[in-house]
Amino acid sequence: MAVCEVCFRHCDIKEGRTGFCGVRRCRNGKVIPDNYGKITSLALDPIEKKPLHRFHPGSLILSAGSYGCNLHCPFCQNHEISWSAQALQYGEKAECISPEELAETAAYYRSRRNIGIAFTYNEPLVCYEYVRDTAKLIHEKGMKNVLVTNGTASLAVLEELAPYIDAMNIDLKGFTDRYYSEVLKGSRQMVMDFIARAVQICHVEITTLIIPGENDTAEEMREISGWIAGLGYVFGEKPGREIPLHISRFFPQFRMTDRPATDVRLIYRLADTAREKLDYVYTGNC
């Protein structure tokens, strides 16, 4: 039996079993990631798709994903590789790509405007070891590392990755403990702590998906944008109001089909609300 220290759950994992995320397993009394090097998705994407709008705009980045996640968002657009019953099946079929091979692939596409690697699609921090090992090699090649994450990880994990990450897009999915704990099975405080430290380390952009009936009020958006503005953007000595926020539209899918897509007009209104506190607010899926 061993305790996993990646996120707030501190899963006490029995020998041979996995924790909540489905990939961190106890073997010989140690927690190791089953999905190390198992790549389910690989694509050359526009950097804006991450979304990152103020980090090397107009460039491309090689996006790599594995399987597993430490949240259970019922609206997940990548549920096949995150936490649904299909995730393990995808993992079993996934191609094993070593950090060296992935770094070489990234370098190969440099001639096509690729600037590096984005760890994305599933939650990359459930296998932060692979992110760390690959990101080191990417930096040695003079390229960039991007992390697209839900921010549900300990500050110890973040500090281990800090020397190698150049930019992050972090989900701040809402601003109530009820929403995080009951709907997402997560911890808002852990995400807030993660973001507060991340903005001191590298370029950070934040994404909030607006779910009808959950996090769609102007009051909550004022709380979110006000908190972001108050962070202080230590990286680059910028004020917190310069941290970009992406406000995205929800579409019914997976286990949340009981409500309509978010009204486009609401997204635009909430973006205007966020602009009361933030300089760079973007709308998504509209």
For residue 246, the SS3 value is strand
pLDDT for position 234: 65
pLDDT for position 240: 87
Who's near 58: CB < 8 A, 6+ residues apart?
Answer: 47, 113
pLDDT for position 39: 96
Angstrom distance (rounded) from CA 184 to CA 278: 26
* Torsional sign, CA 210, 212, 217, 220: negative
pLDDT for position 258: 96
Range 35-284: architecture per CATH: Alpha-Beta Barrel (3.20)
pLDDT for position 187: 98
pLDDT for position 90: 72
pLDDT for position 206: 98
Q: How many CA atoms lie within 13 A of 247 on its CB side?
A: 29
pLDDT for position 160: 98
Compute mean pLDDT per 10 residues along the chain, 286 residues long, and list them.
Answer: 97 97 96 96 97 98 96 94 77 88 98 97 98 98 98 98 98 98 98 97 97 98 97 76 97 96 98 97 96
Peptide linkage before 33 cis (omega within 30 of 0): no
Tokens 């296998």: give the residue: 127
pLDDT for position 229: 95
- Please give the single-letter amino acid code of residue 159: E
Question: pTM score, two decimals?
Answer: 0.96
